Structure 1
Amino acid sequence: MTPATAAVRDALGTVRAELLDCVQSNLAVLADRFHGAGRHLELGATLRFRPRPGPAGLPTVEPPLQEQL
């Protein structure tokens, strides 16, 4: 086994691929391979919880239509 093959194998062991689609899985493996184990956890957007009043005064966390467009 070459050092490159061993590094990819090690990176594969740090990624939970069942939670990701194929593009995300490949990106996660590359991130771990080239930047260290667990680095794929730093990818992505920050989650935000911004409730606002919705229909009938009930709170909603959906972004307004203008933000989606």
Structure 2
Amino acid sequence: MITLGIENPNDWSGIYFNGVPITITAEPNEGYSFIGWGDNIFDSSTTIEINLTEDTTLEPIFIKDDN
């Protein structure tokens, strides 16, 4: 996952405003495929738009391709 301006995306946290949706895209590294967003988001699209109303952890899930 790429977060522009963030050197280490594993350390990212932020404050977002209620009523202002955010768009997030999961981009798998070469050799991997995106399969979903974990327990919190019930959408399998690589790009989602969400309106955060509480503390939320977004967890993109990737699997290694069979090559």
Report which of the two structures shows the higher radius of gyration computed on alpha carbons.
1
TM > 0.5 fold call: no
TM-score range, shorter chain: under 0.3
Q: What TM-score do you get using the length of structure 1 for normalisation?
A: 0.18
Going by fraction, where is strand more abundant, 1 or 2?
2
